[in-house]
Amino acid sequence: MLNGRPEDKSFVILLIAVSLAFIWLLLPFYSAIFWGTILAIIFYPVQRRLAARMPKRPSMAAGITLLLILVIVILPVSLLTTALVRQAQAFYKKVREGDIDFGDYFQQIMDAVPAPLEALLQRFGLSDMDGIQEYLVTGAEQAGQFIANHAVSVGSDTLHFLISFAIMLYLLFFLLRDGHTLAIQIRRAAPLSDAHKGMLQDKFTRVVKATVKGNILVAAVQGALGGIIFWILGLPGAVLWGVLMGILSLLPAVGASLIWGPVAIYFLATGDVVKAIVLAAFGAIVIGLADNVLRPKLVGKELKLPDYVVLIATIGGLSLFGLNGFVIGPLIAALFITVWLLFAERREASENNQTSLVMPPQATPGTDNDRAD
């Protein structure tokens, strides 16, 4: 422990400055480092079992685990991303050429709106249908153009992507092989008691596993179900909409309904009642069941956070850190609550110790001093 001497204070300042400089140095590749760490935590049990079977070959065990990650995680994600980019570009092309007209779709919905609802829209200043149509068309075109341009920029920035990907794999290999030793060194350096270190480490690991495995599994199930029902109903870009439903399903409660809900309304407004009923029933019962059943078991049980905290933390994380935020947001929220609980426990323990020092010892009944002569 530091004693408050000038050289100790200077050392702390130097330690903080060097740490901040190192973090600044890693920022250009923070996503690669982040996901390398996340994958190492998730697949560490596999690495531990392989290392137990080949105790004299830890590098080989780490290499086998890395190969499993490539086959199970990275290859499917790469194939899905390729299909998504192709469908996004095709969708934008149809919007640009007029094959898909959001203004026409919106007008069909508004023509089917009952008179009382139309009067309510006028009451709130939403009667300018032409302006709303133009706004929706412009927004849809901008969204499609963003997806297409972003896909092109990913392809043009291949060098940076390859470097980040190589860094992630390189770091992942060493974290799998030497992660246990690194965790021990971090625990040694942390200025906390062993009990608090263990609690924070356990919470960190639980949150990472719950958010990544739980949310990704729920997103995959809901996205797959949404894509299948869109394909059955003959909607174009089933893969694109399925992936979007999967991404939006990272938001608890609302999620995938932001995609299938408006489509069901459109079917109903255009007179295709059968498709509207099928999509609404499938979305509410089947897709919603995946969220209501899987998420509490896979995510809520491990996080032990209120649903509103998870929702707000996830939205905040996504807005600040992009797709990485669906892990970073709940992780920060869980650590925030855990640290404050530790602080409250330490304060209560300190107050109890002070009270015991101030209070005089009470005489025990039945001692010799209390007996009458």
pLDDT tier at 2 (50, 70, 90 boundaries)?
low
Return the higher-pLDDT residue of 187 and 97. Answer: 187
Segment 9-59, tens digit of pLDDT: 788 888 889 988 988 988 888 888 888 888 888 888 888 888 888 888 888
pLDDT of residue 67: 92
179 shares its domain with 205:
no
96 shares its domain with 82:
yes
Contact present, 222 and 291 (Cβ < 8 Å): yes
182 shares its domain with 262:
no
**What is the model's pTM?**
0.66
Residue at 73 is within a domain: yes
149 shares its domain with 91:
yes
The range of the structural domain enclosing residue 115 comes to: 28-189
Segment 150-207, tens digit of pLDDT: 554 544 456 777 888 888 899 999 988 888 888 888 777 777 777 777 777 777 787 7
Which of 133, 155, 189 marks a domain boundary? 189
pLDDT tier at 100 (50, 70, 90 boundaries)?
low
317 shares its domain with 220:
yes
Calculate the average pLDDT of the chain: 74
Residue at 81 is within a domain: yes
> In this predicted structure, which of 6-10, 143-147, 271-275 has the lowest mean pLDDT?
143-147
Return the higher-pLDDT residue of 13 and 373. Answer: 13
203 shares its domain with 83:
no
Task: Report percent pLDDT > 70 for the chain.
Answer: 68
275 shares its domain with 235:
yes
pLDDT of residue 365: 52
Structure tokens at 78: 């790469």
Which of 160, 189, 218 marks a domain boundary? 189
234 shares its domain with 303:
yes
137 shares its domain with 214:
no
pLDDT of residue 356: 60
37 shares its domain with 170:
yes
pLDDT of residue 301: 61
90 shares its domain with 216:
no
Return the higher-pLDDT residue of 219 and 6. Answer: 219
